């Protein structure tokens, strides 16, 4: 059984107007975990706790089995990080960034970095501030992959990118994950990307974990049930996540697809996407259901 690379145990961060509320989840070694939720749901706050960039108010966070407590800075050697905004000064070139990072990481591999730059078609001597958004993401990824990181942590790495570049970046992640013992935590609100690559899914909304588990099992468990408004009245509340009536019928996200197919043969029941699941759970939260 794979060990957990990441563990949150009832972690709390309270800003007053926003609270990360007793979140608990784990990411097994060798997996790709999609960390999903709308903007402002708490994804970046959780990642900041994991990377020890902010201090939690309660609970525990573990990285590679060690507590994240400011006393294990060496853990960062094994973590590659890619943020939504580029972390390098805009006047720096890739060549200069290499010089800085080889003095920052014990396991920095200059040859690998330059190979990645070539692979991603990134120039050596052009200031990175002149890069396109896609090129900036690739530069961060090239750096993250060049110090033998066992874990990649990425916060919205494909946000704002066109589908072609997003697909290129997803392929880079696939190749990384296929290597032995490599783990990815990929935070995104672009659920279509995660459906292609994720093994595990953690869904956060309003600072709370709504769903967590194997992606395929979550997708198999949920479904969209469509029926007349009258028929909808007979659907058991125990399987209903959220119901959305309309002029021509009702659409319901259910949490036991197999049972519903047996119990309600006159309804149309179709597979739900991660995006649809996320939207319906968010709507349920907004409605106070």
* Residue 159 pLDDT: 75
Q: pLDDT tens across 19-37, in order?
A: 999 999 999 999 999 999 8
Portion of the chain with pLDDT greater than 90, in percent:
66
pLDDT digits (tens, 9 = 90+) for 175-225: 888 877 899 999 987 888 888 889 999 999 999 999 999 999 999 999 999
How confident is the model over 87-136, as pLDDT tens digits?
789 999 999 999 999 988 888 999 999 999 998 899 999 999 999 888 88
pLDDT for residue 72: 63
Q: What is the pLDDT of residue 64?
A: 92
Q: What is the mean pLDDT of residues 239-262?
A: 95
Least confident of 76-80, 122-126, 242-246, 264-268: 76-80
Q: What is the pLDDT of residue 259?
A: 96
What pLDDT score does 134 carry? Answer: 86
Contact indicator for 204, 36 with CB cutoff of 8 Å = yes
Q: According to the 3-state scheme, what is the secondary structure of the chain?
A: CCCEEEEEEEEEEECCCCEEEEEEEEEECCCEEEEECCCCCCHHHHHHHHCCCCCCCEEEEEECCEECCCCCHHHHHHEEEECCCCCCCCCCCHHHHHHHHHCCCCCCCHHHHHHHHHHCCCCCCCCHHHCCHHHHHHHHHHHHCCCCCCEEEEECCCCCCCHHHHHHHHHHHHHHHCCCCCEEEEEECCHHHHHHHCCEEEEEECCEEEEEEEHHHHHHHCEEEEECHHHHCCCCHHHEEEEEEECCEEEEEECCHHHHHHHCCCCEEEECCHHHHHHHHHHHHHHCC
For residues 252 and 232, is the Cβ–Cβ distance under 8 A?
yes
Per-residue pLDDT of 144-172, as tens digits, reads: 989 988 999 988 877 777 888 888 888 88
Residue extents of the structural domains in the chain: 4-217, 223-271
The residue that leads in pLDDT, 71 or 247, is 247
Domain 4-217, classified CATH 3.40.50.300, yes or no: yes
- pTM value is 0.89
Residue 118 CA to residue 107 CA, distance in Å, equals 20
Tell me how far apart the alpha carbons of residues 239 and 253 are, in angstroms, rounded to a whole number. 8
Question: pLDDT exceeding 70 applies to what percent of the chain?
Answer: 98
């Amino acid at each position: 059984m794979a060990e957990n690379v990441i563990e949150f145990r009832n972690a709390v961060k309270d800003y007053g107007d926003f609270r990360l509320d007793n979140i608990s989840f784990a990411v097994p070694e060798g997996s790709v975990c999609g960390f999903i939720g709308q903007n402002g749901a708490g994804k970046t706050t959780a990642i900041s706790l994991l990377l020890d960039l902010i201090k939690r108010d309660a609970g525990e966070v573990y990285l590679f089995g060690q507590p994240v407590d400011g006393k294990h800075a060496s853990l960062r050697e094994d973590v590659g990080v890619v943020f939504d905004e580029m972390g390098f000064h805009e006047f720096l070139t890739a060549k200069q960034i290499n010089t800085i990072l080889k003095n920052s990481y014990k396991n920095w591999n200059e040859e690998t970095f330059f190979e990645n730059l070539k692979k991603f078609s990134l120039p050596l001597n052009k200031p990175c501030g002149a890069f396109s958004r896609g090129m900036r993401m690739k530069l961060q990824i090239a750096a993250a992959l060049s110090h033998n990181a066992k874990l990649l942590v990425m916060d919205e790495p494909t946000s704002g990118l066109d589908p072609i570049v997003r697909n290129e970046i997803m392929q880079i992640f696939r190749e990384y994950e296929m290597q032995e013992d490599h783990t990815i935590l990929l935070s995104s609100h672009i659920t279509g990307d995660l459906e292609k690559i994720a093994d595990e899914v953690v869904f956060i909304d309003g600072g709370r974990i709504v769903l967590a588990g194997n992606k395929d099992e979550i997708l198999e468990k949920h479904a969209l049930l469509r029926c007349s408004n009258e028929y909808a009245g007979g659907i058991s509340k125990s399987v209903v996540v959220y119901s959305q009536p309309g002029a021509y019928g009702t659409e319901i996200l259910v949490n036991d697809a197999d049972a519903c197919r047996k119990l309600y043969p006159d309804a149309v029941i179709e597979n739900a996407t991660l995006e649809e699941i996320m939207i319906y759970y968010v709507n349920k939260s907004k409605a106070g259901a």
